[in-house]
Amino acid sequence: MAIVPKHIKELAPYKPGKPASEILREFGLRKIIKLNSNENPGGPSPKAIDAARAALVNCHRYPDPAGYELKTKLCEKYDLERSNVVLGSGSEGIMSIIMRTFLAPDDEIIGARNSFIGFKVLANASGRRINWVPMDNYRYDLNALAGAINEYTKIIYLANPDNPTGSYFKRSEFETFIRQVPARVLVILDEAYFEFARSHADYPDSMMYRFDNVITLRTFSKAHGLAGFRVGYGFAHEELIGNLMKVRLPFEPALPSLAAAVAAMEDEQYLRRTLERNRVELERLEREFRGLGCRPLPSVTNFLTLVFDDGEKSRAFAEGLLQKGILVRHLAGFGWQDCVRITVGLAEDNTILLQAAEKVLQCL
């Protein structure tokens, strides 16, 4: 069709995994353990659900386009003005607004080659020239990223921590990097897993810096357990946010989603429990997988990536677990053929995972 631009025609459509009902039927299973999307396995905070339920009676009304209550809470927590905050349908929704707002026809994008696939899709759909810079030993190579900047560069995307490797770049690395970035270049600093990483002393919490050309993106989808509600937020200089506000859709996030996010922020006990469970279970999975002869990458997130000898073994491992009802993510789509990413589950599910993994590994 002539009306479809070449760069859209060439995009590969998103390939969803098999629905749970089909997997249950195909392999004669009773239960699925879902460890493939880095969600919070503990379910949402009951307080968030109550708040969303209470908000439903007003669902004949549009949501507050200013997101007043949620923005106020975020401002209190991070010592900001509302003019420094943008809300959106997940942090990916805000990435999409950023691309639509700031990219002019000749602008170019820089990103790490095998990092978060959601940004890759948005970048490819933008039709702009993109320089995908190789990673170094499963980590962001910030020197190489800085070296790739040219006169056309408009946006640099950094995920810290990274998905799918679980690695992070350190304060000193970020400080050296940002000194090399001209003020005309916008850095998207995606901190979707910030809550899990912030206890590491050398993790560069971007809110400590507040550079005028950096936008910090965070989300309620991971540690706060509200992925299905689609709430993300961005912090940046008011001029930057002001321009995003002109382009964003006025009624995102949805009304019950805003209510759930406000309540989730108040439920500090839920967050503490999530982080503690994740810390204990991540350590356990790392230790036990190593004991099974696997090579886990060091992770500061809620997932663990295992490196196999080759693509055949990694695929067979993921497929073997699938047949036992355990969904993990084979990372070919991210460009890591020989890797499998596993979300940290609940203790009892991790026990089932480890038992199943041992059996599958014996057959590889």
Ligand X SMILES: Cc1ncc(COP(=O)(O)O)c(C=O)c1O
Instruction: Give the binding site for ligand X (CB under 6 A).
Output: 38, 90-92, 116, 118, 159, 163, 190, 192, 219, 221, 227, 232
**CB of 78: closest distance to ligand X in angstroms?**
17
Q: Is 20 helix (H, G, I), strand (E, B) or coil?
A: helix
Q: Is 195 helix (H, G, I), strand (E, B) or coil?
A: helix
| 250 C-beta neighbours (distance < 10 Å), count | 10
**CB of 198: closest distance to ligand X in angstroms?**
15
CA dist 276 and 282 (Å) reads 10
| 50 C-beta neighbours (distance < 10 Å), count | 13
Report whether 232 contacts 219 (CB < 8 A). yes
Residue nearest to ligand X (CB): 90
**CB of 26: closest distance to ligand X in angstroms?**
26
DSSP state of 58: G
**CB of 159: closest distance to ligand X in angstroms?**
4
**CB of 123: closest distance to ligand X in angstroms?**
13
**CB of 234: closest distance to ligand X in angstroms?**
11
CA distances, 73 to each of 68, 81, 95, 222 (Å): 9, 11, 22, 18
CA dist 315 and 31 (Å) reads 22
Please state the φ and ψ torsions of residue 291, each to the nearest 5 degrees. -60, -30
- Radius of gyration for the alpha carbons in the chain, expressed in angstroms and rounded: 21
CA distances, 349 to each of 83, 226, 285, 298, 352 (Å): 43, 20, 11, 21, 5
DSSP state of 136: B
**Where does residue 118 fall: left (phi above 0), alpha (psi -120 to 50 degrees), or beta otherwise?**
alpha
**CB of 185: closest distance to ligand X in angstroms?**
20
Of residues 235 and 324, the one with the C-beta less far from ligand X: 235
Of residues 168 and 270, the one with the C-beta less far from ligand X: 168
**CB of 112: closest distance to ligand X in angstroms?**
11
Partners of 330 in the beta sheet?
340
Q: Minimal CA–CA distance to 166: which of 359, 307, 364, 354? A: 307
